[in-house]
Amino acid sequence: MSDYIFYPGCAMESSARAYDISLKAISKTLGIGIKDVDDWNCCGATEYLSISATPAYALIARNLALASRQVNGSNTVMASCSACYLNLTKADHNMAVDPKFGIKINQALEAGGLSYQPGALEIKHILDIMVNDIGLEKIKSKVKRPLEGLRVAPYLGCMVPRPDYASRFSDAEQPVELDMLLESLGAEVVDFPLRTACCGGHMTQISPDTAFDLINRLVKAADDQQADLMVTACPMCQMNLDAFQGEMNHHFKTNFKMPILFFTQLVGLAFGYEASELGFGLELVSAKSALSKLGMKAPESDSAAKVKKPPKGELPMPAPLPKMPRSAEKEATQ
Amino acid sequence: MTELQTVDLPTTIPKHKKSLLSEVAARTAGKSNIEMCIQCGTCGGSCPSAADMDHTPRAIFALLKAGVRDEALRSNTPWMCVSCYYCTVRCPQDIHITDVMYTLKNIAVEEKIYTDSTAPDFSKTFINMVENYGRSFEVGLAGIHNLKHFIGRLPGMTPMVIGMLTKKGMPITPPKRIKGMAQLKKILKRAKELEAV
């Protein structure tokens, strides 16, 4: 059993719970031990870097310093969110190639009694660990329910493959790892050249039209290939394509209903877990149709979690006239 | 757009006066390679949000090289950057373009010379939460930001918001503070002092 120091990142507890739930489930099957970085903090996403570099990197480096204290046998830090993964990698890389900068960040850490030696940790994305550490053969051997007939668009987004620091595991523009993993689960991987195109990042909050355009391109490309669903390895991509798909549809007068899932959810399905054990139902564009293709039902929580309509009597409207059966009507008039 | 008057190459600038290019290079973490730009335009051609930018990244590099400080720093270009790193991996000169964009944003924030406050406000609201809880707070962030900048958009967003809170079950209360909040505050305070040096 290999152990990993895990940096979950904020989204795993909020918008990307399905990623967290499914990851924890499949890690049991794969025999991976996961130990969170104790008292980790937010990596700052793309926001702190926009405001001020030194505190932004110090914020990231506190996590590196805490993780390096937990090194016990394995020095690999596993990240699930691609922005977290990039930020951790980026801080480690820049502290190493720019020693003056590394000293500056360590001076900041020192104020909190911490320090980090660049290169002390190996930072890896879950996808890298699954394909390169665990290996596709082992994953294939755990498949109990092959995803036959399921057409999947593999969408990786920007920050897993780019920028191509020396430690990166995949091609910067057309990586094949996610495709290979999905194929090993028995899924039919559609031709999806936009696999590393941008989902718009925080543009849904800055310049919505820019974001809608990018979201539209991606969803349309998957739909053109008659994909049943898209999978991602990034909470931001999942949120943009899933939660903003409705607003995007409204903007372009389209009617896409493309389910957006985390790749770990599909791994879990193939491993034989039930949809309810993998965070299905947490997506806004329902994955019901895709699940039914596998002969599976969406979990109960899916329908139960929908906005409950208040009982009719409580609505501030005139109550509709009760419809009486004809016979009763006759009796009443008599 | 201001017409480019002169192009001062860094070598022609007196040593006592730091060029804009070297200022930006010095403030960028790691190696920016910014002085290596050959104006090929691969960056702008690769950029998914270039259509919404005042200047393409290539034009920004020309402005920086020419020392046209104000126009470069007021441009919406860095704020429209989506951090996808396409330009960075495609640049034949290995310029860390995305990181240079971050540096330009840092300077614009410091000198308060951005034209549109939407993006800087979003970043500030985000980091304000991180500085208080040690974690980000997605629902609170989106709520505060959209009330301030996109109030007209809220009706159209309602179904999504309801979905986020019910179906996705996103927490509506702030996250639990990290245990080392005092430690993180000390680190950030020191980092801010070091940034100012």
Give A70-99 pLDDT, tens digit per residue: 998 889 999 999 999 999 999 999 999 999
Given a cut of 50, is residue A137 above it in pLDDT? yes
CATH classification of the domain holding B47: 1.10.1060.10
At which of B62, B89, B110 does a domain end? Answer: B110
Q: What are phi and psi of A230, to 5 degrees?
A: -115, 145
Give the C-alpha separation, B98 to A46, whole Å.
11
Cα→Cα distances A326→A35, A321, A329, A333, Å:
68, 14, 5, 11
User: What is the model's pLDDT at position A165?
Assistant: 81
Question: B23: domain range?
Answer: 10-110
User: Is the reported ipTM for this assembly greater than 0.95?
Assistant: no
Q: How far is A44 from chain B (nearest CA, A)?
A: 7
Given a cut of 80, is residue A8 above it in pLDDT? yes
Given a cut of 60, is residue B1 above it in pLDDT? no
Contact check, Cβ <8 Å, A208/B153 = yes
Are residues B32 and B99 in contact, defined by beta-carbon separation less than 8 angstroms?
A: yes
User: What is the model's pLDDT at position A99?
Assistant: 95
Note whether B127 and B106 are same-domain residues: no
Note whether B100 and B38 are same-domain residues: yes
Give the pLDDT confidence of B132-182 residue by residue, as tens digits. Answer: 999 999 999 999 999 999 999 888 889 899 999 988 889 989 999 999 999
User: What is the model's pLDDT at position A314?
Assistant: 46
Q: What are phi and psi of A275, to 5 degrees?
A: -55, -35
From the list A105, A103, A117, the residue with the least C-alpha distance to B192 is A105
Given a cut of 50, is residue B89 above it in pLDDT? yes
Confidence of residue A28 (pLDDT cuts 50, 70, 90): very high
Mean pLDDT of B32-37: 96
- Which residues are CB-contacts of B18 (< 8 A; sequence separation ≥ 6)? none
A51 closest CB neighbour out of B124, B134, B159: B124
Number of domains in chain A: 2
Given a cut of 80, is residue A162 above it in pLDDT? yes
Burial of A188 (0-12, 13-18, 19+ CB in 10 A): middle
Are residues A272 and A12 in contact, defined by beta-carbon separation less than 8 angstroms?
A: no
CATH classification of the domain holding A95: 1.20.1050.140
Q: For B64, what's the count of Cα atoms within 13 Å in the CB-facing half-sphere?
A: 29
Give the C-alpha separation, A68 to A95, whole Å.
15
A15 closest CB neighbour out of B83, B103, B168: B168
Contacts of A94 in chain B (CB under 8 A): 29-30
Given a cut of 60, is residue A114 above it in pLDDT? yes
Note whether A65 and A141 are same-domain residues: no
Question: A264: domain range?
Answer: 137-304
> Does any domain span residue A161?
yes
> Does any domain span residue A322?
no
Are residues A137 and A85 in contact, defined by beta-carbon separation less than 8 angstroms?
A: no
**Helix H or strand E encompassing A332:** helix A326-333
Structure tokens at A138: 């082992």
Note whether A121 and A164 are same-domain residues: no
Placement of tokens 């309509």 in the chain: A309
User: What is the model's pLDDT at position B18?
Assistant: 77
Note whether A97 and A146 are same-domain residues: no
Note whether A157 and A85 are same-domain residues: no
Residue A312: Cβ within 10 Å count:
9
A202 closest CB neighbour out of B110, B122, B160: B122
Cα→Cα distances A145→A136, A148, A150, A185, Å:
16, 8, 12, 8
Optimal mutation site among B93, B188, B192, B197, interface A, most CBs of chain A within 10 A = B188
At which of B67, B86, B110 does a domain end? Answer: B110
Q: Give the chain B residue nearest A104 (alpha carbons).
A: B194
Give the pLDDT confidence of B99-142 residue by residue, as tens digits. Answer: 999 999 999 999 999 999 999 999 999 999 999 999 999 999 99
Q: How far is B131 from chain A (nearest CA, A)?
A: 9
Note whether A33 and A154 are same-domain residues: no
Contact check, Cβ <8 Å, B106/A58 = no
Give the pLDDT confidence of A34-74 residue by residue, as tens digits. Answer: 999 999 999 999 999 999 999 999 999 999 999 999 998 88
User: What is the model's pLDDT at position A319?
Assistant: 47
Optimal mutation site among A40, A47, A63, A239, interface B, most CBs of chain B within 10 A = A47
Q: How far is B114 from chain A (nearest CA, A)?
A: 12
At which of A75, A95, A125 does a domain end? Answer: A125
The whole-model pTM stands at: 0.89
At which of B79, B110, B141 does a domain end? Answer: B110
Optimal mutation site among B27, B46, B97, B126, interface A, most CBs of chain A within 10 A = B126
Number of domains in chain B: 2
